[in-house]
């Protein structure tokens, strides 16, 4: 990962063209399927395998982070580094969050299956960014993918 990867936020983890200003999915399963397809196209990995790993992880417990965000994640063979995608949903959906809030911001994290340390560090970076009180409102207010990218890079501030 380059120098940008260690800067504010988690922008350095995002795949090229990995920010979707509107992911047209209206249920948790549909979101997981759509993210698996999108990541598959960018990583040249089987969509079925990605989707199955995400479903298995989600079955262990909701990956809803709270505050309207979720971080579905999986570890996969064939990856050499952690990568992420960011999506905003057109309407909030039930993700069985512990705070009861529906989710409209989703960060997909995919990690190598043999590197738990990097996986945990990437999860921490994403959760730290989403915990920043300005980030999620900035993601919701963003006009496009570029503005969403700026928000997770710590370059845009919107107060709630």
Q: What pairs with residue 93 in β-bridges? A: 103
126-149: burial string, b at 16+ Cβ within 10 Å, e else: beebbebeebbbbbeebeebebbb
Reduced to 3 states (helix: H, G, I; strand: E, B; else coil), residue 7 is coil
| pLDDT < 50 positions in the chain | 1-7, 159-160
Strands 83-93 and 73-76: unpaired
Identify the CATH class of 3-152. Answer: alpha beta
* Cα dihedral 130, 136, 142, 145 sign: positive
Contact 78/44 with Cβ under 8 angstroms?
A: no
Q: Please give the pLDDT value at position 8.
A: 58
Please indicate whether residue 73 is annotated as part of the active site: yes
> What pTM value is reported for the model?
0.91
Q: Please give the pLDDT value at position 156.
A: 62
Q: Which of 4, 51, 73, 119 is catalytic?
A: 73
Q: Please give the pLDDT value at position 1.
A: 33
């Amino acid at each position: 990962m380059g120098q940008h990867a260690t800067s504010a936020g988690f922008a350095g983890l995002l795949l090229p063209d990995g920010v979707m200003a509107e992911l047209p999915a209206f249920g948790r399963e549909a979101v997981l399927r759509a993210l698996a397809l999108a990541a598959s196209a960018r990583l040249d990995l089987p969509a079925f395998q990605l989707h199955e790993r995400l479903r298995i992880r989600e079955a262990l417990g909701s990956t809803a982070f709270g505050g309207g965000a979720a971080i579905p994640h999986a570890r996969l063979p064939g990856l050499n580094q952690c990568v992420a995608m960011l999506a905003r949903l057109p309407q909030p959906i039930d993700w069985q969050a512990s705070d009861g809030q529906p989710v409209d911001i989703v960060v997909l994290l995919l990690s190598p299956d043999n590197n738990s340390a990097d996986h945990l560090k990437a999860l921490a970076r994403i959760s730290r960014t989403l915990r920043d009180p300005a980030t999620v409102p900035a993601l919701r207010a963003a006009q496009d993918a570029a503005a969403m990218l700026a928000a997770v890079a710590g370059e845009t501030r919107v107060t709630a």
